[in-house]
Amino acid sequence: MVQHEKFYLNGTWQLKKADETLLCPVEIPGSVLFGLTEHGLLEDPFYRMNEYPARELLKNDFIFSREFELKKEEGRVYTLCCDGIDTVADIFINGIPVKHVDNMHLRYRILCTNILKNGTNSIVVKIHSAISYVNEHVSAPGKEIHYTACGAMEGNQYIRKAHSMFGWDWGPQLPDMGIWRDIYIDSYEKAELSDLHIRQEHIDGKVLLSAEVKVTLPEKAQNGKIVEAEHQVSPQSKESHAQTLAKNAETADSLKVKITLWTPDGKQLSFSDGKCLVEDPALWWPNGYGKQPLYTVRAELFLGGEFLDVKELRIGLRTLTVSREKDAWGEEFAFCVNGVKIFAKGADYIPEDCIYSKITPERIYELLDIAVACHFNCIRIWGGGYYPADVFYDYCDEHGLIVWQDFMYACNVYELTDALRESIIEETKDNVKRLRHHASLGLWCGNNEMESAWDHWGGFNDHSDALKQDYLTMFEKLIPEALKSEDDATFYWPSSPSSGGNFTDPDSDDIGDRHYWDVWHGEKPFSDYENYYFRFCSEFGFQSFPCKKTINTFTLPEDRNIFSEVMESHQKNGSANAKILHYIAENFLYPKDFESLIYISQVLQAIAIKSGVEHWRRNRGRCMGAIYWQLNDNWPVASWASIDYFGRWKALQYFSRHFYADVLGSLKVSEDAVYTPYLQNETMQEVSSDVTVFVKNMLGEVLWKNSQRAVCEPLSVKAMGPVSLKDVIEGRESEVFVEAVFTHSDGTLSRQVEMPKPYKHMQIKKAEITFDVMIEGDLLTVRLKSDAPAFFVSVESNVDLVWSDNFMHLTGKEPYEITAVLPEGAEGVPKIRVRSLCDSWEVEE
């Protein structure tokens, strides 16, 4: 007999209206929008302006139901496990109500031994409209809330549901409903392993692991029904007796737990008295600093000699915290891994889709593959979305992406009711228990931007003192206390941005983390980044339009104007189009057509983020992190993302591969045409670099050059000799440009181009770019050649490809090769199109 098993209820269910009228089958995990669109009963909510009728539909309640066959065995305990119900629902088994649920971020375990029967069973999940639910909310006197986040529907803070499902300034207002994660019957007979917690202590190059195990035992209540009790088990040896306070002591005293550690190279170590000493640990490191070896901890539960249950965790042996040492500038904020302070490089992550059941492991892997390929070592999970699936964190463990984990609260005022208090504690403990073992988990953060909002946001900080006190209770008491009860090792940060909490200068430049939006929202020039030396910039961004292929998926030809109703409905930040035009006017000539406008918007975005990242990397030690907003989209939209909804790379994503490189050469441009090369080394080895600074004319001819060499220590920055070019450039500022080429000892290259004036005022020649295409196996190579300097050269194909480089500068007459891997099944030679900056505006011959 299998002692512990799961019977999955995923698969085909029936979707019905609230009046029991059958609509269609729906695959679970799934949702209302997922089911109706799959069966043609609802037009694609992403197409044109279909968002709005779909939103109206979601004002209704819906029913999900199915029947299932169960071979019920006497003496076994049966639990219905719901890993994700979205959101307010009543669950019935065989017509009997078993649970009312109201938190999509919480896993529910519902004991149903006495309700299930042998043979045919039914399950019904009646889901109440989230829109109706928040509209029905009545606040307590003195706790009325009038603030709504930009782009969101009113009242989204009254429900424990991903806030961005109600809309954001990059997402649609589609608060879907459904069963969005696995649902199954869990059963066991005598006992089950309910929790395994591993703690690490690093001492003199060794690692001492301590295990804490909890076991659930069935018990009979006075009414004869089966109930459960969870007990902590302290292993006394590799096959020890459990020490519990169980009422059924006979069973408890016969329980044995065996815990084994499997090393990355397959060796086996045993725990004794709940502890295991690893003499020569293989340490886990972030991407770029070392390898990511993972150990497996296996706990086995026995009753006498009978095997009952097993639980496994994969862990990385490392220390990981946040250093807040005082220094000359204030107080640092730096991830510290195995005693090494790292510079965090990454982006802010939002859910890959606003229809959550469409978020597959494959989409998660594709997105995170890009992050790793572009030298990210960190990813921030933003608090207005969801806690991702286990596979997300598994991937981060395997590839060295440190996770900045927000709890799911963002840009809102919350009324702390008794029900919310209980839900917060349960949600915190549940997610912490699920995620705490991951090597990649870098910190827990209470919320996104709410401390800063209470401090100085107009329309936010004018709420009652009682609501402000609710904030403090939630994020400086309830959540950290619940967190500590389940994970006392991981760093907690009350909000982002913050200086440590209690509304003490949450936007300080000198302490904690910072969000910076004067570039973009404040319409400051890109050079404004250089006025700030934040300790850790966890959010800054710039918008662009998605790729033309993506726009074609939701528009008709007549819609392809940024001020058309359809395009504006796929631009959720009301002033954003005007801001893009403002920055175009500051930097470039006016684009000649719609497609050129898209291209220029992406170039602007890439330049903006590059400017900030390179400045902060030049100031490593004072600033220890640059996390840009945002990595991805949840539908086809104009946004701050570097990858659009369909996974197509914008210019920014290509730029990130360069400005996040482990070894980076950059140029600091000062007044009076002084150019200072910088070498930034984010590796554990010394590197050297040969740099040549050129002044070239618009024919590509070298007018002046200077070469120098620098050596840079590990994890440091080297400012090289400044180069004064005033005498070289003066009088021909519109006719020349400066180029710096860094050849690094690790075999990589950095190339920087700077214009003495804005591009719009430069006398750039219209270059003729030729190219050859070669295919060998699945590798496509394009060899480019230009007869004059060409800037931001973009290579496109009728097939979706990811290039080894793109939006690059061709500044000499030597060929430049880029490659891409062809998708499986691709036939023939893809059609290639090449454009450069000059192609985006009209040039009179």
Q: What is the pLDDT of residues 576-601, one digit of tens each?
A: 999 999 999 999 999 999 999 999 99
Residues whose CB is less than 8 angstroms from the CB of residue 372 and which lie 6 or more positions away in sequence, other chains included:
287, 399, 400, 401
- Asked whether residue 721 carries a pLDDT value surpassing 50, the answer given is yes
Task: Look up the CATH number of the domain holding residue 837.
Answer: 2.60.40.10
On whether both 34 and 176 belong to a single domain, the answer is: yes
Measure the CA dihedral 582/586/587/591, to 10°: 50
On whether both 301 and 175 belong to a single domain, the answer is: no
On whether both 178 and 42 belong to a single domain, the answer is: yes
In one letter, which amino acid is 524? K
CB 752 within 8 A of CB 735: no
Q: Which of 185, 220, 254 is the last residue of a domain?
A: 185
Arithmetic mean of pLDDT, 228-238: 55
Burial grade of 761 (CB within 10 A; 0-12, 13-18, 19 or more): middle
In one letter, which amino acid is 709? R
> How far are the Cα atoms of 5, 184, 188, 254, 319 from residue 1, in angstroms, in the given order?
10, 19, 10, 19, 42
On whether both 753 and 772 belong to a single domain, the answer is: no
Note whether residue 516 is domain-resident: no
Task: Look up the CATH number of the domain holding residue 63.
Answer: 2.60.120.260
Give the C-alpha separation, 204 to 630, whole Å.
Answer: 40
> pLDDT by residue (tens digit) across 165-217?
999 999 999 999 999 999 999 999 999 999 999 999 999 999 999 999 999 98
pLDDT at 235: 58
Q: How many CB atoms lie within 10 A of CB 63?
A: 22
Q: How many CB atoms lie within 10 A of CB 579?
A: 17
**Residue 413: φ, ψ to 5°:** -100, 130
- Asked whether residue 773 carries a pLDDT value surpassing 60, the answer given is yes
Confidence of residue 54 (pLDDT cuts 50, 70, 90): very high
pLDDT at 813: 86
- State pTM to two decimals: 0.96
| CB-based burial, 608-639: b 16+ in 10 Å, e otherwise | bbbbbbbbbbbbbebbbbbbbbbbbbbbbbbb
On whether both 669 and 816 belong to a single domain, the answer is: no
CB 606 within 8 A of CB 587: no
- Asked whether residue 221 carries a pLDDT value surpassing 70, the answer given is no
Note whether residue 384 is domain-resident: no
> pLDDT by residue (tens digit) across 376-425?
999 999 999 999 999 999 999 999 999 999 999 999 999 999 999 999 99
- Residue identified by tokens 């090449």 is 834
**Residue 198: φ, ψ to 5°:** -110, 130
| CA-closest candidate to residue 180, choices 101, 98, 99 | 101
Give the C-alpha separation, 396 to 393, whole Å.
Answer: 5
Three-state DSSP state, 437 = coil
Note whether residue 374 is domain-resident: no
On whether both 734 and 777 belong to a single domain, the answer is: no
pLDDT at 245: 33
What is the average pLDDT value for the chain, to the nearest integer?
95
pLDDT at 12: 98
> pLDDT by residue (tens digit) across 430-472?
999 999 999 999 999 999 999 999 999 999 999 999 999 999 9
Q: How many CA atoms lie within 13 A of 816 on its CB side?
A: 21
On whether both 791 and 719 belong to a single domain, the answer is: no
> pLDDT by residue (tens digit) across 130-143?
999 999 999 999 99
pLDDT at 305: 86
Q: Which of 742, 763, 784 is the last residue of a domain?
A: 763
- Asked whether residue 164 carries a pLDDT value surpassing 50, the answer given is yes
Give the C-alpha separation, 282 to 292, whole Å.
Answer: 9
On whether both 153 and 201 belong to a single domain, the answer is: no
> What is the widest separation between alpha-carbon atoms in the chain?
95
- Asked whether residue 89 carries a pLDDT value surpassing 90, the answer given is yes
Q: Report the chain's C-alpha Rg in angstroms.
A: 29
Arithmetic mean of pLDDT, 33-37: 98
On whether both 73 and 89 belong to a single domain, the answer is: yes
Q: In angstroms, how far is the first alpha carbon of the chain from the final one?
A: 84
Residue 320's H or E segment, with its range, is: strand 320-323
Note whether residue 676 is domain-resident: yes
On whether both 42 and 158 belong to a single domain, the answer is: yes
Dihedral of CA 810/811/815/819: which sign? negative
CB 563 within 8 A of CB 577: yes
pLDDT at 249: 46
Rounded to 10 deg, the angle between the 479-486 and 418-435 helix axes is: 30
Cα-to-chain-centroid distance, residue 702: 44
Arithmetic mean of pLDDT, 29-49: 98
pLDDT at 671: 86
On whether both 21 and 160 belong to a single domain, the answer is: yes
Assigned token pair, 200: 């690490």
> pLDDT by residue (tens digit) across 482-491?
999 999 999 9
Domains identified in the chain, total number: 4
Confidence of residue 240 (pLDDT cuts 50, 70, 90): very low
Written as one string, the DSSP assignment of 684-742 is: SS-EEEEEEEEEEETT--EEEEEEEEEEE-TTEEEE---EE-HHHHTT-TTTEEEEEEE
Note whether residue 408 is domain-resident: no
CB 413 within 8 A of CB 436: no
The residue range of the domain holding 693 is: 661-763
- Asked whether residue 252 carries a pLDDT value surpassing 70, the answer given is no
Confidence of residue 218 (pLDDT cuts 50, 70, 90): confident
On whether both 671 and 695 belong to a single domain, the answer is: yes
Residue 402's H or E segment, with its range, is: strand 402-406
Give the C-alpha separation, 611 to 643, whole Å.
Answer: 19
Note whether residue 466 is domain-resident: no
Arithmetic mean of pLDDT, 338-356: 98
Arithmetic mean of pLDDT, 66-89: 97
Note whether residue 399 is domain-resident: no
Q: What percent of the chain has pLDDT over 70?
A: 95
pLDDT at 253: 63
- Asked whether residue 539 carries a pLDDT value surpassing 60, the answer given is yes
Note whether residue 506 is domain-resident: no
Q: Which of 154, 185, 216 is the last residue of a domain?
A: 185
